[in-house]
Amino acid sequence: MAQQSCPFLAIDPSGQDLYGQISRIRAQGPAVEVELPGGVRAWWISGLELNKRLLASPLVSKDAYRHWPAWINGDVSRTWPLAIWVSVRNMVTAYGPDHTRLRRPMAAAFTKRRVDALLPRVQEIVDRVLDGLARVPVGEVVDLRRSFAAPVPHEVVCELFGVPREPHGPDGPRQALYRIINRFFDTEISLEDAHANAQDLYRTLTAFLDAKRARPADDLTTALIAAHEEGSLTEQELMDNLILLLTAGYETTVNLIDNTVHSLLAHPDQLALVRSGRASWEDAIEESLRHEAPGAMSGLRYAVEDIEIEPGLTIPKGDPLVVSFAAAGRDPERHGPDADRFDVTRPTSRDHLSFGHGVHHCLGRPLAMAEATTALTALFDRFPHLALADPARPPKRLRSVISTGHQELPVLLHGRDGTPARGPAPEELRAIRKPAGTTGTRVPSA
């Protein structure tokens, strides 16, 4: 059994050199021991096919309470800054029959019918946010992540889960969730702040569930409460699955929109391919999912038994491992020596792990794809001269090794010459636009 020699590669919690670190780890082998933020050691898996193999293997678990001795024995503290990614009891951290039991009510609640019914509302939300952007003075720099990429998925996920708009202010449920989730993925956060944010999250969701029980509606939260009352979920599982769906349904879609806009604006030749019809919006979105996986890595997984990676290299039973979605997306063995290049015509662009693989594939894929397609087509229709405010200065990445996006995305809505485009008025665009989900892009079925 081969063991990685010390010193361990320490993963930078700031996330500012994510792909540089991924390249250095890849050069050391298919499975390399690293040190995660907070001093916890894990095996980092880089290759696409190896990640697929491990994601589909019954020898890999996500249940720390059953298969991670360091967590069970208390060697890893419950106050570890990334502990909430381990401590929650939801379908993503479940193993075997427990995973099947927990996933069933989620799938029943996350039906294609519910998603399809939401699509017209997605278009309305996108149009309303764009109407607000249209009022920005010409020449003013806009943070497109904060003003577009974030509010659209936030409003959509709140609609899906029935999170009320009232009361307004920082303690209102929508505003509180927005604040909490934005800090949830910060891996440079202090131990004290991480603990306080987790407490704030549980407190906010407890109040929300109490209100929803008093006033049920046709939304996903009410469906999950019904599953709890039928005995399919414990109270803790109800809460933790709600955390999973709210956070994953928001953050990853924000990053998908953010990253796709940035990649297209930073590569005008690729945007031209989409505009000309030589590549579709779906091509651009799939390549973005490969090139910049919205979630850089999974939560920890654990070896149920010794796992032989290759002759002479074995992950011992009980060791944690990291499935690196970001590394898999840029695997040169699958995507070629130019895997770091954004190319909307790449024939392998759909071969990525951004929506997971196997039994843990993402239930929210159809909604995320529809949101991204609707948002991107409407954005570039409304602002055809959209440009990066400073093309020579790449925007700072999020302070995270979990979430892949930008702290802000400064743009000029009307291009650097400051001349607003003369095209169809917003109401004309709405009149001629196809219904959400039929924009020429195939939306995967549930």
Residue 124 pLDDT: 96
Residue 322 located in a structural domain: yes
Own/partner pairs, 426-433, CB within 8 angstroms, 24+ separation: 426/127, 426/130, 426/131, 426/134, 426/382, 429/378, 429/381, 429/382, 430/127, 433/123, 433/378, 433/381
What is d(CA 250, CA 133) in angstroms, rounded to the nearest whole number?
21
Residue 320 located in a structural domain: yes
- CATH number of the domain to which 275 belongs: 1.10.630.10
What are the structure tokens assigned to 103, written together?
């996933």
Q: How far is CA 79 from CA 66, 177, 192, in A?
A: 19, 22, 9
Q: What is the DSSP string of 380-430?
A: HHH-TT-EES-TTSPPPBPS-SSB-SBS--EEETTTTTT-------HHHHH
**Rg, C-alpha atoms of the chain:** 22
Residue 7 pLDDT: 54
* Alpha helix (H) residue ranges in 296-387: 325-329, 332-335, 365-382
Residue 2 located in a structural domain: no
Residue 117 pLDDT: 84
Residue 420 pLDDT: 59
Number of domains in the chain: 1
| CA angle at 319 for the pair 308 and 6, rounded to the nearest 5° | 90
Residue 418 pLDDT: 65
Residue 92 pLDDT: 80
Residue 104 pLDDT: 82
Residue 241 located in a structural domain: yes
Residue 226 located in a structural domain: yes
What is d(CA 172, CA 180) in angstroms, rounded to the nearest whole number?
12
**Residue 135 CB partners (closer than 8 Å, separation 6+):** none
What are the structure tokens assigned to 141, written together?
């720099």
**Residue 324 CB partners (closer than 8 Å, separation 6+):** 22, 44, 45, 46, 51, 296, 297
Task: Return the amino acid letter for 206.
Answer: T
Enclosing domain of residue 202: 9-432
Residue 439 located in a structural domain: no
- Strand, coil or helix: what is 310? strand
* Surface-to-core class of residue 224, CB atoms within 10 Å of its CB (0-12 exposed, 13-18 middle, 19+ buried): buried
Residue 341 located in a structural domain: yes
Instruction: Please identify every stretch of the chain with a pLDDT value under 50, giving residue numbers as ranges.
Output: 1-6, 422-426, 428-446
Chain-centre distance of CA 194, in angstroms?
Answer: 19
Residue 231 neighbours by CB distance under 10 Å: 7
What is d(CA 41, CA 116) in angstroms, rounded to the nearest whole number?
43
What is d(CA 148, CA 137) in angstroms, rounded to the nearest whole number?
16
CB-CB contact of 307 with 367 (8 Å): no
Residue 401 located in a structural domain: yes
